[in-house]
Amino acid sequence: MAEDRAQETPETPEGDEPIKQRKNGLYPAVSDELAASMKSGWADTEQRDLEPIAQAPHTARRRAALSARFPGERLVIPAGNLRTRSNDTEYPFRASSEYVHLTGDQTHDAVLVLEPTTTGHDATAYLLPRSDRENGEFWLDGQGELWVGRRHSLAEGAQLLGIRCEDVRTLPERLAAATGPVRVVRGQDEGIEAALTDKVTAERDEEFKTFLSELRLVKDEWELGELRHAVDSTVRGFEDVVKVLDRAEATSERYIEGTFFLRARVEGNDVGYGSICAAGPHATTLHWVRNDGPVRSGDLLLLDAGVETTSLYTADVTRTLPISGTYTDLQRTIYDAVYEAQEAGIAAVRPGAKYRDFHDAAQRVLATRLVEWGLVEGPVERVLELGLQRRWTLHGTGHMLGLDVHDCARARTESYVDGTLEPGMVLTVEPGLYFQADDLTVPAEYRGIGVRIEDDILVTEDGNRNLSAALPRRSADVEAWMRDLRA
Ligand code: GLY
Ligand code: MN
Ligand code: MN
């Protein structure tokens, strides 16, 4: 049935007037003869037979959970719109994680609507149909088929996604006319929000977003497969970097960034966040994404990077590498303390443990080492109670991972930070120590050293699995791995 409705001729509110000319076009207005020529002589390619996407059964289950939570309410989940980069060029589009999670689709301007019924909800994906040949859109509009490629027809969309599909250009009017309670995911599509402005409240929409965030806390089997792909590609990207690190041309953080990015684009969609390619003292800046510094032998390279799969799941991995291939004594001492903290953190990841446990375990190790090194006055309990170690540890020890690098960020405190770990959760464990170049409270030789080690950990039924274990972590193992890759 869904497919039948999807094949109805869409209404195109703006599609009646012929498009005469592209803005800023070089050519004069389109003659009637050319317009007539462009309308005809094309093979019929409206309907191709497509296989449903592999995750369709999973997206259906996620929508069912959503439907059960909000009976009788109309639920609106936009993918988002293109954003102008400059003039008539756009940023690469990345659909909202909420929309992707519930549909598996990634197209811009799309909107998922769950319409309440007596038994639950009917799902409809409102999409842009193929660009129109009758009015010239397909060759005259900057988003037309001959400019940016073919969009799926609505019937194809229904086949792919397993959801009824309709023309999104009809949606604002439908929403404006609709009655009954509505919720919308805000911050993605101004046009859709404008159509709903009298019908929604910030508080109810916040509750909606929170639920969608919490729906992603436990990953299903399909998602875990994607996260494994993301991590495996990321491992290859790290190997790529190590292989070029001793090359004459690898003198800049930009070269490292570009090397990793090649892997991300060839095997995935993109990087899941701006790669942090921080050499020397830049490693003490937590999110160093400027990547405009030099790479010098004798310094450390903190590489924090993750491949985002074509399905938009991302890894988030950090290794702190000796650019020369060998850690100096002090670099090794600091590195080993972070390694020990990470080991303690990973050991605390298991079902039933409090989310905070792995953070506390890692912080205790770091505080202990800082006291031993004489950088802060003990005892360790006092340091932890007052949080004094944070001058050098700076950030939390991890976060959920998934479609977003900091996944499930809108979840309630009680279900995330104050919550309990469950099988199927995936989180990072990423302690670090950062001695700023201008920190006068530490000996001069510490200044400008930053170390972080970050792995992606799956909570299993009986403990955890380190998805990024293929990348060595012990200092001696890192050195041996670098030697082997460079040989
Ligand atoms: N790459 C950002 C983070 O580790 O959280
Ligand atoms: Mn990271
Ligand atoms: Mn992280």
pLDDT of 221 reads 97
404 touches ligand 1 (CB under 6 Å):
no
pLDDT of 1 reads 31
pLDDT (mean) for 246-274: 96
pLDDT of 132 reads 84
Compute the distance from residue 275 Cα to the ligand 1 centre, in Å: 9
Compute the distance from residue 455 Cα to the ligand 3 centre, in Å: 8
Q: How far apart are CA 273 and CA 399, in angstroms?
A: 14
**Cα-based distances in Å from 453 to 193, 254, 317:** 42, 21, 8
pLDDT band of residue 9 (cuts 50, 70, 90) is very low
139 touches ligand 1 (CB under 6 Å):
no
- Top pLDDT among 487 and 282 is at 282
Please give the single-letter amino acid code of residue 382: R
Q: How far apart are CA 62 and CA 403, in angstroms?
A: 14
pLDDT of 24 reads 52
pLDDT over 90 (residue 46): no
Give 299's DSSP letter: S
Note the residue count of the chain: 487
Q: How far apart are CA 137 and CA 157, in angstroms?
A: 20
- In sequence order, what are the residues at sequence separation of 6 or more whose Cβ sits closer than 8 angstroms to the Cβ of residue 481? 242, 471, 472
pLDDT of 47 reads 79
pLDDT (mean) for 453-468: 98
Cβ burial, residue 218 (10 Å; 0-12/13-18/19+):
middle
pLDDT over 90 (residue 23): no
Strand partners of residue 166: 126
pLDDT (mean) for 235-249: 95
Assess contact for 469 and 487: CB atoms under 8 A. Answer: no
> Cis link prior to 379 (omega < 30° from 0)?
yes
Compute the distance from residue 454 Cα to the ligand 1 centre, in Å: 8
Residue 147 CA, chain-centre distance (Å), reads 27
pLDDT over 50 (residue 10): no
The alpha carbons of the chain give a radius of gyration, in whole angstroms, of 26
pLDDT band of residue 128 (cuts 50, 70, 90) is very high
Closest C-alpha to ligand 1, atom 3: 316
Compute the distance from residue 430 Cα to the ligand 3 centre, in Å: 6
Assess contact for 103 and 59: CB atoms under 8 A. Answer: yes
pLDDT of 327 reads 98
Q: How far apart are CA 114 and CA 72, in angstroms?
A: 10
316 touches ligand 1 (CB under 6 Å):
yes
What predicted TM-score, i.e. pTM, was given to this entire model? 0.94
φ/ψ of 259, rounded to 5, equals -65, -45
pLDDT over 70 (residue 26): no
Query: What does the pLDDT look like over 337-394, one tens digit per residue?
Result: 999 999 999 999 999 999 999 999 999 999 999 999 999 999 999 999 999 999 999 9
- Percent with pLDDT over 70 in the chain: 94
pLDDT over 90 (residue 323): yes
Cβ burial, residue 324 (10 Å; 0-12/13-18/19+):
middle
Three-state DSSP class for 469? Answer: coil
430 touches ligand 1 (CB under 6 Å):
yes
Q: How far apart are CA 294 and CA 279, in angstroms?
A: 7
Among all ligands shown, which has an atom nearest to the Cα of 274?
Answer: 1
Residue 190 CA, chain-centre distance (Å), reads 22
Compute the distance from residue 112 Cα to the ligand 1 centre, in Å: 30
pLDDT of 173 reads 96
Compute the distance from residue 429 Cα to the ligand 2 centre, in Å: 9
Give the residue, out of 320, 428, 451, 468, with the most ligand 1 atoms within 8 A of its beta carbon, to mutate for a pocket test.
428
pLDDT of 333 reads 98
Neighbours of ion ligand 3 (CB under 5 A): 316, 428
Compute the distance from residue 18 Cα to the ligand 3 centre, in Å: 50
137 touches ligand 1 (CB under 6 Å):
no
Closest C-alpha to ligand 1, atom 4: 316
pLDDT over 60 (residue 270): yes
Please give the single-letter amino acid code of residue 93: F
pLDDT over 90 (residue 21): no
Q: Which of 84, 83, 87, 75 is nearest to 124 (CA)?
A: 75
Q: How far apart are CA 339 and CA 90, in angstroms?
A: 42
pLDDT band of residue 79 (cuts 50, 70, 90) is very high
455 touches ligand 1 (CB under 6 Å):
no
Paired tokens of 380: 């360790």
pLDDT over 70 (residue 16): no
pLDDT band of residue 150 (cuts 50, 70, 90) is very high
Residue 11 CA, chain-centre distance (Å), reads 34
Q: Mean pLDDT over all residues of the chain?
A: 94
Concatenated DSSP letters of 321-374: EETTSS--HHHHHHHHHHHHHHHHHHHT-STTSBTHHHHHHHHHHHHHHHHHTT
Concatenated DSSP letters of 135-169: SSHHHHSTTSHHHH-PPPPHHHHHHHHSSEEEEGG
H/E element, 90: strand 89-90
Query: What does the pLDDT look like over 166-219, one tens digit per residue?
Result: 999 999 999 999 999 999 999 999 999 999 999 999 999 999 999 999 999 999
pLDDT of 90 reads 95
